[in-house]
Chains A and B, each alone.
Chain A
């Protein structure tokens, strides 16, 4: 039986649908949707008579001639007082911290002339070691969102801070005087100073001040309890504290997480007597089992776990962690797992119980299917093999599952080794029971004053709508600190807008002994005020400051002077300590030592009896996508345009469904083309829509057939359906018409349609914790919908040699020739066939780049790359890549210079091919269940694909105007001002990485709501070092030539040779896992040189002889089964 691995990006490619075959033969899909265009009512607008046309033509020519004659006067405005540390034209970097209740990351922010323009992870300091998500990378654009509130708002109209303060203070006093209920509803606060501020605020209203430990405690705590200090920071500002009343008002601070981990804390309380979330150490875990915990992109401290995990995935180190994943919707983590098992969400406890049983723990007697049990047994074998060096994590917000997982980890002796209960993390502190109580109180009208900070409960609560109605209660003072008049804020009495994180000072304590400072990078753009300062003002601890207010800054400094400084010995003066803390972004902290003593209380039997199971036909999972997360930044066009890591869909929310379920639900049998429409995603074939019903909530969404989705489940991403009631959260938050007008797509009432539906409506409070899946009904809506999906765009026709993968075993004991052989070609030099290495023959003379000056090269490690997309956002913002919107993406006109190709793969064997063929034919048996079907559970490879900077570039030889040429540093240069837009180069590019700039994105109406350069605020994010390209030119990855020039210049100015790190492309700079390495290939000591001469290095499409300056490293999985791996030798035969 011949066995080879086939790679496919979508079902249409796998099945070779006619549209796919037709389109993939074209470099540019030019078919306009004619029906839609002619049918459009707007066509009337475009009618132009012949005479009019000639008039315009004549006038245009005349105007252009006149305009070119006059020299425009260009203004230049220098600073009045130039800040000392700014040199115009030179970027400044600031260390700061990103935290929004969901993502936490130590970041470095690049600022040009005082404008933050680029964000990356801080690899030198801080807990997260450079780990960021696309959301953090794109966060700089949120700062420039034009819809941010310009000042405080009362009942929809703007007020002054003075009036707002006076009124709010008076109302709070009145409430406190009568002993009313005051509630602060916030996301999880991990800022020591903010906690002190909130405590002060509670105290000032006569509320019960929480018993607090010192907000900042050095990790090496002495055994005495002296370290616990009651904070006294009343003298911060020197303003007298006005005590409101002595009668104990009922003031409480409730923390609320939209995606909650409340059950985890409860489970740990039950098992260990501590309601904590422990620190996980993925770097030591040789076997990882995750039950629906997407720890690379969304679960807890994912920014850190992602980096830690990548460290264990280095085949050169001699070992790799073995990763098993159980989940319903394919997540980023699941896609990277060595072994992935699709399960229903209700089966999570059963999976956990099965693992517990197989590792020799208690048998809880929960039944599970044989197939899943086999997976669980395999996982358990590995876990047993690595006792004390393994890790089992679960994502479920379900105490039962978490208690069983605790038992597993305890049995495996992981506590004190890979799990540290003593050095807990402080993220996600919400207690869902308290949240539920508060929500019920608000709905019942029992709360007199509600302050909402960092949370959007009307959008995220299961019963958000009801909560929203209750906010309208006139007897209740409701204050929001939101930056936007969002779903919740717009219903509050007052909105006192907080600064953006790039305008704020703050301090953070994400984990015991780990601290971070957030410093502002720009002066506040609007008349906003930091929430902490508002609270200080209202509690009478400070006077209202102006734009330059240092109130909270001084407060933080005082906290650190009182607590942080005495706990360290590195710095002698506080100023020095503080300045270095701010400079590095994190105050010094010694590494915490895990303690080994754990007393585990086994309650698994008790929870097992209370576990619920489901026998519903459909279960719906509300999951988080890598791009949108909890939905705070749904209006960020960079995130919307970033193709989803797994599905490659842009600008949309959809229902993920197993392909086999799709065939059943939409009754797809036989081979007629029409039947498969709606399943294949093409420009002109809309997809099917379904109605997903949970209780009374119905969402009608398009279906994306997702290979690897568990049968009987559907997934709907959270974070969509924002601004249902037209709230102003940003212009890109709504659906745009799929035509040239660029107008919003309005519903029958003339309202803007939100993008997708709000999956939070499917969540519910169950057993006092929020549950993110539910039994559902799924029905064909008999409607079609256009999805914009890039998965089969830029397909490299049938050239499978682009990908190479192998397993760890071959790397350790095999030879390069086995898993990464050089490509050989047949030649007929002497009349008989011969095999010659593809690199040995060439049509062209060698390009003189070797050893002449620099030769810029890149290495992309397919093993370290997890497909998260941080590089794409980094490239987008570094290179001013225009946002083109959904309609243009649908036409395959996305402009991403760097794309992340996601390939599904499965072993192709003759038997299955036969079966595949048969099943299309009418009347064949559909229940052929035992045969592996590729789309049931494929493995996934991510491959970043950008310009390969070929030394024998096919694009260069065909350009009629020499707009693209080769540099003696190995760069494939693109001179936009020379390009006349023939697109011949794109046509000739074997990698399909050249992009045509179709429109004047900066001015054309089609992009008015999506393109950030059409907005006078969002335009400020543009990188001044890179040209904003005009319409009609080709563009592509330049290897960040502006950074190359800068790095070279710095070396020249300092009179030294260019070293590693001087020149780093944006993608390599931002990549959390070091998958991309860039440098001077001619420097024999450079990292890129050693990487590219390693055994795993290969060049994509080596056989065509274009000699790229980009090397890939073979993807390595930690799998044993021979059948799971396709040796490259077999794959490369494909072309012959």
Chain B
């Protein structure tokens, strides 16, 4: 097999890149991830936080004449301060009443990498830009405008052409001596036309009625269906970042899901568990400004790290809406002792979403098979969808004491038990999951 020149070029490029990569400050790359993994919860590169800012830390230790002690400090801060050998360690341990967590597992090289990284960080110029979503919207608006302009221009052309054609017809008619009643109204003309072409009219009329009716019905079924609904939100929150990349469990924020009918939108103090420290982000343009909105709601001054007491609640737009006459309990479905259903069954692959949104049936069906997800056909949050699942989902009567008792009672009614376990599973429906008062009262 001989090398084609393009292949050779490819291999060359590959090696060049490799060489470049090797030559690049690998340490700084490692440093960034090491920093995020070990230090970022208390330290920031450019700002004092729970711990002092790390940029120039090495220089400050050097200034104090203890450049080597920095490694000992990171590995065992309390030990160093208490050893009496390092006055600078004593000095910086007074920075905060909380002692720094010892990072004994870090090697000197890794510490260097971290400090090199923090020294290399440059302040990000704040972008006065619009968020990505808004930009999208703007483009959409412009294109719509263009379409309208185009339609207007085309209609002008069509009407002009029609006028010209009409004039020409008159001219021809005049020439041929045919008398034309120019005062004949459009209505009369239309009537004459219909009489002439009554079959065509009838067919057109029927088609219009059938398609119109069908469309109306289709639309009717869509009323109140929230599938694929993603309302805008006051904070451009990303589930992809938090639940996806960070791997935060759904129930950390939606903490009442196991206890209450509401999964709950996290209260601001839950956000502040992390965002007291995480005050800026380069996740995407404007992320820092979004975090600032949490601080404003919580009445938190990220500079002084103090709460002002001036709170203002965040008004979210609800994505998953059920009508008032529907009772739904998250606890009933999510709690490990009850149905123990994976969140994905109804909410889809949330770790890939941005804002909260109602998933589509297709999206969820793609997950079918994993974590016991049952594929369904009806649109989300419709009653058909609920019933479909209740018809499929089986209940393990041996799982909890509650169901064991139900099972015992069925013992005295073997006829009924036989009937419901005919298909080798007892579904929610067979235990009453299709009854009105399960959800409507």
Contacts and interface: CB of A to CB of B under 8 A. Distances in A.
A669 interface: no
B321 interface: yes
A578 B159 CA distance: 89
Chain B at the A interface: mostly helix, strand, loop or mixed? loop
B256 A80 contact: no
Interface stretch (A541-549, A635-643, A769-777, A967-975): A967-975
A30 B141 CA distance: 58
16 contacts: A78-B266, A79-B313, A81-B269, A82-B267, A87-B259, A89-B261, A89-B264, A851-B413, A853-B409, A963-B436, A965-B435, A968-B431, A973-B436, A977-B323, A1041-B437, A1052-B403
Given A87-B259, A975-B436, 17 more contacts: A79-B269, A81-B268, A81-B269, A82-B270, A88-B256, A89-B262, A853-B432, A963-B436, A967-B437, A976-B325, A976-B440, A1027-B324, A1028-B324, A1038-B437, A1051-B402, A1052-B332, A1056-B401
Interface in A1014-1042: 1025-1028, 1038, 1041-1042
B14 interface: no
A1052 B324 contact: no
Interface string B334-348: 010110000000000
Contacts of B267: 78-82
A90 B327 contact: no
A419 to B, nearest CB: 49
A1064 B437 CA distance: 17
Nearest to A1039: B437
Interface in A851-866: 851-853
Contact of A78 (B314, B331, B400): B314
B153 interface: no
Interface string B296-331: 011100000000000111111110010111010101
B409 A852 contact: yes
A1055 interface: yes
B265 interface: yes
Interface of A: 68-69, 71, 73-82, 87-90, 848, 850-853, 963, 965, 967-969, 971, 973-978, 1025-1028, 1038, 1041-1042, 1045, 1048-1049, 1051-1058, 1082
Contacts of B401: 1055-1057
B325 A977 contact: yes
Contacts of A1051: 402
A69 B313 contact: no
Nearest to A1044: B437
B228 to A, nearest CB: 12
B201 to A, nearest CB: 28
Contacts of A77: 313-316
Contacts of B396: none
Nearest to A89: B260
Contact of B402 (A69, A71, A967, A1057): A1057
B231 interface: yes
B406 interface: yes
B410 A1025 contact: no
Contacts of B299: 80
B269 A89 contact: no
Question: Looking at chain B, what size class is its interface with the partner chain?
Answer: 35 or more
Given A75-B318, A1055-B401, A1057-B405, A1049 B432 contact: no
A766 to B, nearest CB: 56
A1055 B337 contact: yes
Given A80-B313, A853-B409, A975 B440 contact: yes
A1053 B338 contact: yes
Contacts of B269: 79-82
Nearest to A977: B325
A976 B440 CA distance: 8
Interface string B392-412: 000000001111111001101
Contacts of B262: 88-89
Contact of A1049 (B219, B321, B329): B329
Nearest to A972: B437
Chain A at the B interface: mostly helix, strand, loop or mixed? loop
A965 B436 contact: yes
Given A81-B269, A1027-B325, A1053-B338, A1058 B316 contact: no
A78 B413 contact: no
Q: Which 8 A-B pairs have the closest CB atoms?
A: A89-B260, A973-B437, A1057-B405, A82-B267, A1055-B400, A975-B436, A79-B267, A89-B262
B317 to A, nearest CB: 5
B416 interface: yes
B441 interface: yes
Contact of B331 (A965, A1026, A1053, A1056): A1053
B327 A1025 contact: yes
Given A967-B435, A1041-B437, A1055-B402, A73 B231 contact: yes
A1028 B401 CA distance: 35
Interface in B208-260: 219, 223-224, 226, 229, 231, 256, 259-260
A1026 B441 contact: yes
Contacts of B229: 71
Given A75-B317, A76-B317, A78-B314, A1082 B409 contact: yes
B377 to A, nearest CB: 22
B265 A78 contact: yes
A87 B256 contact: yes
B432 A978 contact: no
Contacts of B406: 853
B435 A88 contact: no
Contacts of A965: 435-436
Contacts of B270: 82
B317 A74 contact: yes
A1054 B405 CA distance: 13
Nearest to B430: A968
Nearest to A1055: B400
A6 B12 CA distance: 110
Contacts of A1041: 437, 441
A74 B318 contact: yes
A1095 to B, nearest CB: 25
B432 A78 contact: no
A971 B435 CA distance: 10
Contact of B416 (A73, A852, A1042, A1058): A852
Contacts of A1042: 327, 441
Contacts of A69: 219, 223
A76 B440 contact: no
Nearest to A975: B436
A850 B311 CA distance: 56
A853 B431 contact: yes
Contacts of A974: 436-437, 441
Interface in B5-48: none
A88 B254 CA distance: 11
* Residue among B260, B321, B405 with the highest chain A CB neighbour number at 10 A: B405
Given A77-B313, A973-B437, A89 B223 contact: no
Nearest to B404: A1057
A75 B323 CA distance: 14
Given A975-B440, A1028-B324, A80 B312 contact: yes
A973 B435 contact: yes
Interface in B84-100: none
Nearest to A1048: B402
A813 B406 CA distance: 40
B432 A74 contact: no
A645 B69 CA distance: 87
B402 A1056 contact: yes
Contacts of A79: 267-269, 313
* Residue among A90, A976, A1026, A1057 with the highest chain B CB neighbour number at 10 A: A1057
Interface string B47-72: 00000000000000000000000000
Interface in B158-205: none
Contact of A80 (B297, B317, B327, B435): B297
Nearest to B229: A71
A611 B312 CA distance: 70
B435 A968 contact: yes
